[in-house]
Structure 1
Amino acid sequence: MGESTALSAYLRERRLAAGLARTELAARAQMAPLLISQIESGALVPNHAMLQRLFDSLDVPHWYRKHILVLGLPAVESGAVATAPSAEDLADLASLTHPACLTRFPTMDMLAANSDYQRLFPGLGAGVNMLEWMFLNPVAKKVYLDWNTEAQLLVHAFRMLAPLAPTQRVSAITASCGESPDWDPVWTSEVRPQDIARRHLRLRERSTGLERRMMLRIYDPAFPSRPWWLYRLIPVR
């Protein structure tokens, strides 16, 4: 019997969230119930075709599937995995000419942010959770001109990927954000596909009051591998 992986646990959580028995999921995915049991226990790592059928049957949005695989499958590491950005990582971040930050996904805990990012998002730096800042810091609604849409997208990603994060951390973030009257309405709302495919964000600079239109780019460090992602905001010209 294999050990349960984050991916196998994720698939099980998604099945339970959908209210499906293993036999029902097996029928939807056109797979034997035994295979579903083996995948959820970690005894079997599903191949690409199996994963696509399971994702389709569990209504997992296409735009999250690569992230789920990156977070859910055990990485092959040649050495110790970094737990915090090194001096070189921070120097690299500071050298970027546009707003950028390092964020642990999917909990969205901030590990570092360059000066341009902190100017654009006051109070959002190392040690701050992006979701908590979005819902509990009044500055967020002044910075994001389309706050409701951006909050929905952030919460939807968190909701879909939370099974891949430590349960205690997810519970702490949910409890903290739940103090905001906006949390429950946003949590239960549905994200429109056209919002996911948006080309840019509309932000207001606190120092000048001017609107800035920026593209969001997210990068997963590959060489060397790091347990965080790089968020960059590129001005639209």
Structure 2
Amino acid sequence: MGDSTALSVYLRERRLAAGLARTELAVRTQLAPLLISQIESGALVPNPAMLQRLFDSLDVPLWYRKPILTLGLPAVEPGIAPSTPSAEDLADLASLTHPACLARFPTMDMLAANADYQRFFPGLGAGVNMLEWMFLNPVAKKVYLDWHTEAQLLVHAFRMLAPLAPAQRIAAITEQCCASPDWDPVWTSEIRPQDIARRHLRVRERSTGLERRMMLRIYDPAFPSRPWWLYRLIPAR
């Protein structure tokens, strides 16, 4: 067996979650069973055409494919990425004029949030997990006008991408969220494909009680690379 990458682990876990034997996946993808085995062991990094077949056969939504590759393949740039935002990162975040935060993906652990974000989402700041806040903080259902859909989207991303994160962290988040009676129904519910790539979400501004329609934008820092993503909410026109 080769040195498994997060991508090889992810593909194996997705196949098992789909209830497919390697031979069945080989038939679906028209790839030799030996290639499937080599990819899952990390001995072979699939080329783009192979990945396309694998993602299609494993029903991986288009929305998640780039994040899977970003998180799943070994980094090629030198140096060690910082584990927490620097003073410059925090200053950049604070300078943004709309709600924004820095969070790890796919665990959705918050690293920082600007003042506007914390005003919109009370209690959701550095050191808090988005999923735990969504399911355990009563404020979440008052803020999100479509709470069930937003909760489904978070859980769906968490469930689809969990193999790319440390197993202990995934287990800890799941254990906390299981305390909510909403967790199991949302976990087992199906989400509509059109909701995954939604353009807008609706929130109620706590200070005014007004409904706000916001566009969600997620950015992956590239220069320099960082192990977190920037989430921004921009008022919709």
Classify the TM-score, shorter chain: over 0.9
Q: Which residue of 2 aligns with 1:23?
A: 23
Q: Does 1:221 align with 2:203?
A: no
Q: Which residue of 2 aligns with 1:10?
A: 10
Q: Which residue of 1 aligns with 2:207?
A: 207
Determine the C-alpha separation between the residues in 2 that align with 1:90 and 1:78.
23
Determine the C-alpha separation between the residues in 2 that align with 1:83 and 1:176.
23
Secondary structure (helix, strand or coil) at the match of 1:218 reads strand
Give the superposition deviation at 1:198.
Answer: 2.6
Q: Does 1:75 align with 2:75?
A: yes
Give the superposition deviation at 1:20.
Answer: 1.1
Determine the C-alpha separation between the residues in 2 that align with 1:122 and 1:77.
37
Determine the C-alpha separation between the residues in 2 that align with 1:47 and 1:149.
35
| Matched AA of 2:105 | F
If the length of structure 2 is used for normalisation, what is the TM-score? 0.98
Determine the C-alpha separation between the residues in 1 that align with 2:179 and 2:44.
41
Secondary structure (helix, strand or coil) at the match of 1:105 reads coil
Q: Does 1:91 align with 2:106?
A: no
Q: Which residue of 1 aligns with 2:133?
A: 133
CA offsets 1:99-146 (integer angstroms, 9 cap, x no match): 000000000000000000000000000000000000000000000000
Q: Which residue of 2 aligns with 1:119?
A: 119
Determine the C-alpha separation between the residues in 2 that align with 1:66 and 1:29.
20
Q: Which residue of 2 aligns with 1:170?
A: 170
Give the superposition deviation at 1:236.
Answer: 1.1
The 4+ residue runs of structure 1 with deviation greater than 3 A are none
Determine the C-alpha separation between the residues in 2 that align with 1:194 and 1:58.
18
Bigger shift: 3-12 or 75-84? 75-84
Q: Which residue of 1 aligns with 2:102?
A: 102
| Contact 2:220/2:228 (<8 A) preserved | yes
Structure 1: which 5+ residue stretches go unaligned? none
Q: Which residue of 2 aligns with 1:160?
A: 160
| Contact 2:63/2:197 (<8 A) preserved | no
Give the superposition deviation at 1:197.
Answer: 3.4
| Contact 2:5/2:42 (<8 A) preserved | yes
CA offsets 1:19-74 (integer angstroms, 9 cap, x no match): 11111111111010000010011110000000010111111111111110011001
Give the superposition deviation at 1:206.
Answer: 0.8
Determine the C-alpha separation between the residues in 2 that align with 1:130 and 1:58.
27
Determine the C-alpha separation between the residues in 2 that align with 1:62 and 1:188.
21
Determine the C-alpha separation between the residues in 1 that align with 2:197 and 2:167.
30
How many residues are treated as equivalent by the alignment?
237
| Matched AA of 1:113 | A
Determine the C-alpha separation between the residues in 1 that align with 2:205 and 2:57.
43
Determine the C-alpha separation between the residues in 1 that align with 2:120 and 2:160.
27
Q: Which residue of 2 aligns with 1:32?
A: 32
Determine the C-alpha separation between the residues in 1 that align with 2:219 and 2:28.
34
Determine the C-alpha separation between the residues in 2 that align with 1:177 and 1:235.
30
Secondary structure (helix, strand or coil) at the match of 2:225 reads coil
Determine the C-alpha separation between the residues in 2 that align with 1:197 and 1:19.
26
If the length of structure 1 is used for normalisation, what is the TM-score? 0.98
